[in-house]
Amino acid sequence: MLALFAAGLLGCATTPGPVRGTGDLGVVIERATGSIQIVENTRRSSLARVAGLGDLSHAAAVYSRDERYAFVFGRDGGLTKVDLLEARVVARTVQGGNSIGGAISQDGRLVAVANYEPGGIKIFDAGTLALLSEVPSTPGPDGKGAKVVGIADAPGNRFVFSLFEAGEIWVVDASDPRSPKTTRFRDVGKQPYDGLITPDGRFYIAGLFGEDGLALVDLWDLGKGATRILDGYGRGAEKLPVYKMPHLRGWAMAGGYAFLPAIGRNEVLVVDARTWQRVGAIPVHGQPVFVMARPDGRQVWVNFAFPTNDTVQVIDVAALKLVESLKPGKAVLHMEFTARGDEIWISARDDDRLVVYDTASFQRRAELPAKAPSGIFFTWRAHRIGL
Amino acid sequence: MRLGAAALVLTMAGAAHAGDPGPGREAELVRLVRQDCGSCHGMTLRGGLGPPLTPAALAERPDAMLAATIVHGRPGTAMPPWRPFLTEAEADWIVAQLKRGTLGDDATR
């Protein structure tokens, strides 16, 4: 078994390296081959490739609190626990038919997976990946359980997510993981397509595909219900066709503002993060997919949907305007900052490479080969609420 | 939309061929279906936020309706019109390939 996994490694695979930490490590999803690369920031290098993770054409990862294990959520319902130090799969279960992502609980003991098919979430023991409980979603108009999107962890061992067809937000308290308690918010808006949680864990926000606006839940006061923010942000203007849904997980909060992708518009919305009122909109190169704040909040980086997905733009938060446009490669799918934001790693799927930029000078620092790379997830996520 | 315009020019060039799109253009269309249709329908076309596009899922749907859905989109749903990026003949070709199952797992990336 060990030998089998070791055979999948790049480089010197058979001997574990010297004792090392994991704080500068991460994983890169190779979406077409069901493999991941384990990379490290300090020397901008790839340490290993781990294969056999199933269908990773859409995938996401969260980390154990010791930053040693990655939990990778695959499209085919696969949940795989990978040991970054030994570069091998330590546990794997195919728990659903079609999945979109997952989350790890505040105490690090639970991993929840969000499923399209069958609609709902499943909660697993983070140590063994044993199934502890299931929370099926309510049926949408087609009679099938609504697809779960935008799952995030919240303080109190809670998981928060949205139901696409049903237009609901659910808060699941998994303090007792074998009998979780669900609080439902109905009629939050049409077709919530993704969600995010503010870095302090207080507010959950769902983006709506079916209307101009977002739904907000104050997790400090569930009794207030879900409220609408940025209602009618497009002001009735015709939407552009949407060739890729934005992702809100990349969540940008900087300088007292929240920066959000406008759906069907070539704009980044700027919102006052205290009042949730619209401040303005910044015109950009295409329809934003990820809108991500550098950890210090001084810059916001944006990538775009097909057909403008060869470009990345940078917003200066102090000036609220674009300061840089970069062409990292064909089909830029994801970006990830290093823990303190000195560099950013960008995946260019159709060029089969990762590009690392210095975020101060915008100079290219490195390029690494990768097979159709998509998501990049560094271990600092282990200690961020909602990631 | 500068890139959109570039894609349109490519499309017109592809449309010069009668019948099948031609090998170079076919490879582009395969990539388009797997990668860009795949954003919602899944790269293996087994479904995502959008419904599956497997032969079994499409068997009962008329070809003309499917081709029209590709070209014009479906108002009220997340399905956008792909007219800027392909011709009606190319949409017909994609429908035929989808029904034969040649664009999913077995197709080259």
**Looking at this protein, which amino acid is placed at residue A99?**
S
Give the containing element (helix H, strand E) for A62: strand A60-63
By C-alpha distance, the chain B residue nearest A31 is B43
Q: Which residues on adjacent β-strands are paired with residue A35? A: A30
- The number of CA neighbours under 13 Å toward the Cβ of B79 is 18
Per-residue model confidence (pLDDT) at position A336:
98
B7 and chain A: CB distance < 8 Å anywhere?
yes
Q: For residue B79, tell me if it sits in a domain.
A: yes
Contact B42 A244 (CB under 8 A): no
pLDDT the model gives residue A214: 93
Answer whether A241 sits within 8 Å of B49, measured CB to CB: no
User: Is residue B106 situated within a structural domain?
Assistant: no
Name which of A284, A205, A280 is nearest A235 in CA terms.
A280
Which carries the bigger pLDDT value, residue A9 or residue B97?
A: B97
**Residue spans per domain, chain A:** 95-244
User: Is the interface score ipTM higher than 0.90?
Assistant: no
Contact flag A57-B80 (C-beta cutoff 8 Å): no
- Quick one: residue A323, left, alpha or beta (phi over 0 = left, psi -120 to 50 = alpha)? alpha
Least CB-CB distance to A306: which of B36, B43, B48?
A: B36
Cβ contact A31–B80 (<8 Å): no
A-chain residues near B42 (CB < 8 A) = 57-58, 75, 98
Predicted pLDDT at A236: 66
- pLDDT tens digits along A253-306: 888 999 999 988 999 999 999 999 999 999 999 999 999 999 999 999 999 999
- Asked whether residue B109 is domain-assigned, the answer is no
How far, CA to CA in Å, does A165 sit from each of A101, A207, A209, A293?
A: 17, 13, 11, 30
Mean pLDDT of A207-236: 90
If one counts the domains in chain B, the total is: 1
Give the confidence band of B7 by pLDDT, cuts at 50, 70, 90: very low
Is the confidence at residue A102, as pLDDT, over 60? yes
Average pLDDT of the segment spanning A346-367: 98
Residue B40 lies in a domain: yes
Boundaries of domain holding B88? 2-100
Asked whether residue A5 carries a pLDDT value surpassing 60, the answer given is: no
Flag if A75 and B42 touch (Cβ within 8 Å): yes
Distances (CA, A) of A375 to A153, A154, A235, A345, B74: 19, 22, 33, 10, 29
Q: Reply yes or no on whether the pLDDT at B5 is more than 50.
A: no
- CA nearest neighbour of A204 among A212, A195, A213: A195
Given a cut of 50, whether residue B10 has pLDDT beyond it is no
Please tell me the distance from the alpha carbon of residue B41 to that of residue A310, in angstroms, as a whole number. Answer: 22
Cα(A290)–Cα(A99) distance, integer angstroms: 20
**pLDDT at position A12, please?**
46
Q: What does DSSP assign to residue A194?
A: E
On the question of pLDDT at A10 being above 70, the answer is: no
pLDDT for A376 beyond 60:
yes
Q: Which residues contact B106 (CB under 8 A, 6 or more apart)?
A: none
- Residue A55 in this model has a pLDDT that exceeds 60: yes
Question: What class has domain A95-244?
Answer: mainly beta
Q: Which long-range contacts (CB under 8 A, 24 or more apart) does A90-98 make?
A: A91/A128, A91/A129, A92/A52, A92/A53, A92/A129, A93/A124, A93/A129, A93/A131, A94/A54, A95/A122, A95/A124, A95/A131, A96/A122, A98/B42, A98/B46, A98/B47, A98/B48
Q: State chain A's mean pLDDT as an integer.
A: 92
Averaged pLDDT for residues A129-139: 95
User: Cα(A47)–Cα(A25) distance, rounded to whole angstroms?
Assistant: 9
Stated pTM of the model: 0.90
Does any domain span residue B18?
A: yes
* Cα A273 off chain centre by: 20
The whole-number pLDDT of residue A238 equals 79
d(CA A324, CA A312): 8
pLDDT at residue A18 in the model: 79
Omega cis (within 30) before A241: no
Confidence tier at A15 by pLDDT (50, 70, 90): low
Q: What is the pLDDT of residue A211?
A: 87
- CA proximity to A193, closest of A206, A212, A211: A206
Average pLDDT over residues A131-138: 96
pLDDT score, position A11: 46
Q: B46 — contact with chain A (CB < 8 Å)?
A: yes
Asked whether the predicted pLDDT for residue A129 surpasses 60, the reply is yes
A35 torsion bin: left (phi>0), alpha (psi -120 to 50), beta (else): beta
**Lowest mean pLDDT: which of A134-148, A323-337, B5-19?**
B5-19
Question: Which residues pair with residue A80 across a beta bridge?
Answer: A72, A92
Percent of chain A scored above 90 by pLDDT?
A: 84
Task: Give the domain CATH number at B64.
Answer: 1.10.760.10
HSE of A208, CA atoms in CB hemisphere, 13 A? 23
- Locate the chain B residue with the closest alpha carbon to A55: B44
